Structure 1
Amino acid sequence: MNEVRVALVNDYEVVARGVVSMLRSYRNRIHVVELDLNKQVSEHVDIALYDTFASTREDRAAVRELAANPLVAAVVVYSWNLDPTLVNTAITHGAGGYVSKGLPAAQLVAALEAIRNGGERVHLGATGTAGVIGGDWPGREEGLTEREAEVLALITQGLSNTEIAERTHLSINSIKTYIRSCYRTIGVSSRTNAVLWGIEHGFRPDRVRIEHPEPAPGGGADLMARP
């Protein structure tokens, strides 16, 4: 069957491009048509892969909006949050699939193919795959984990601890733990300084759309390229 046409939907260029890079070895099976940063998908795609990293929008609304786009055959939520209630809610509101960000590249590709072909819609991975680190995120080169980076991104966008907990579906205590470890890593001691650090290091959303991803040096990240 033909390759899966995918639009990556996320507000952060580094996150979207990280997924492209993660899938670089599978360009004969996955064709990334667009990186959509806070914009509507404008080409026909089999899957709009909605990455939930640091999104301040309520996921149900985002899923419904994408699902209503006639150019999108299926919306797939791509998330660390694997609570069954969240998965069921996403499916109820129009998602055609739900995929864990803990899946390695080969399993992610297989999951997208299965969803496109009408097979299993939920792919959360087997026990032990949660430790897989794929893709990219702001602050990774500074030593931040993806969870720490997501919390810092939401702080930079002005959310309170309570709002962050609601958005990420984590407890307040977990949010406070991530904040403390994040502060230690970036060398700040206050929320104000953390926000300033975040602004200076790419933690504000990129509200533009990139059409036709440009190849990285050597062409490794260009999923548009034909084999």
Structure 2
Amino acid sequence: MTTIRVLIADDQMMVRQGLTVLLNAEPGIEVVGQAVDGIDAVAKAAELDPDVVLMDIRMPRLGGVEATRRITAPVGATTRVLVLTTFDLDEYVYEALRAGASGFLLKDASATELAYAVRVVAAGEAVLAPNITKRLIAEFSRERDAPRAPLKGRAGNLTERETEVLALIAQGLTNAEIAERLVVAEQTVKTHVSRILVKQSLRDRTQAAIFAYETGLVRPGGS
């Protein structure tokens, strides 16, 4: 089994050390470095090439949002970012998701939840907790001043089924739940998800969910 290499970025030493102990105790996960702020995180991500960065949002010198953007923006970048936050409705978390983060985790998460999230993100998926992420995306989509572009033109190249799948992703459903809702095989759903990401040049399910809100396919507080 390939070891998942993790970089922890947080300005609080006790948080960094605590996360390091928890993750190093997990099989198949190794913390390869710690960063004290966003600038340090960007530099060490380039140096160490970790699979996953656990990124605090609020740090001195350079915050987690801009650090996330700098780490994930380069063409061919493979490092994934998992945002750490104290509050589940932190507006900076929404911006970090748009900047390229693959999901987020509350700092009071258990060791099991932490390890699971790291493994999911390292596997190329996104951490989308329906009861938190959907609410966060909806809340901050509602507050955006710019009007949403109509679906036609931005996402009009999706088939009817792909559009259905995209809407369900935005509602926080897993592949298995989508398959049950649409009465199709889970592998079929995975194929639809992959095509959606390719057609819209989206990084993962998190960005797909945000895209669905911003195009108006799914409305905040509704469907």
- Between structures 1 and 2, the one with greater helix share: 2
Higher relative contact order by CA 8 Å / sep ≥ 6: 1 or 2? 1
